[in-house]
Structure 1
């Protein structure tokens, strides 16, 4: 089963995304900030880091850069509501994908499936 580490500071969005990904058949560990995600990346294996870009303490771009050091096989996808931030993410973490808010949950699941070349687990 694909394991996803979700870093999202908005509690409602974190719960919403976690539930959608779990319903699609993924294992999700969700945290509220990058500084909480980093130790998990060091201790556990994750297939995907799904991170908001704008977060307190450590933004998603810094988290992705640190992730590449401590867990280089973990893929990265950003979610953001800010176009300028999305451009920065594309420049500073070129191997990642960026999904701009607002997006439909089906779009998120499809992006994850495409990253791993999988068929849909469940319809949303």
Structure 2
């Protein structure tokens, strides 16, 4: 099963995203800030880091960069409601996907599905 580490400081959004991804067959571990994600990345294996960019203590870009140093094959998807931050994320981590708020849950699930399409095809 594909494991997702979700870092989102807004509790309602975090629960909403986690529930949608779990209903689509993904295993989700959710945290409320980037600094809470680091110990999990040290102990557990994840396939995707799904992170908000603007968060207290450690922003999503810094989290993604640290996570990339720890887990070279970890995929990254940013979610943000700020257009200027989207550009910053694209420059800092060009291989990462960026999903701009507001988005429909269906769009999120489709983007995550696309990230893992080739992996799933190889399993069948």
TM-score, structure 1 normalization: 0.94
* CA–CA separation in structure 2 for the residues paired with 1:71 and 1:6: 15
State whether structure 2 residue 65 is matched by structure 1 residue 65.
Answer: yes
> Which runs of structure 1 show a deviation greater than 2 angstroms over 4 or more consecutive aligned residues?
none
Task: Note the residue ranges of structure 2 that are not aligned, 5 or more in a row.
Answer: none
Q: Secondary structure of 1:45's partner?
A: coil
Q: Please, what is the CA RMSD of the aligned residues?
A: 1.0
State whether structure 2 residue 21 is matched by structure 1 residue 16.
Answer: no
Q: 1:95: Cα distance to partner? A: 1.1
Task: Note the residue ranges of structure 1 that are not aligned, 5 or more in a row.
Answer: 120-124
Structure with the higher fraction of residues in helix conformation: 2
Q: 1:109: Cα distance to partner? A: 0.3
State whether structure 2 residue 101 is matched by structure 1 residue 101.
Answer: yes
State whether structure 2 residue 83 is matched by structure 1 residue 88.
Answer: no
Aligned length: 119
Q: 1:73: Cα distance to partner? A: 1.0
Give matches, 1:40-55, under 5 Å: 40-55=40-55
What residue in structure 1 maps to residue 7 of structure 2? Answer: 7
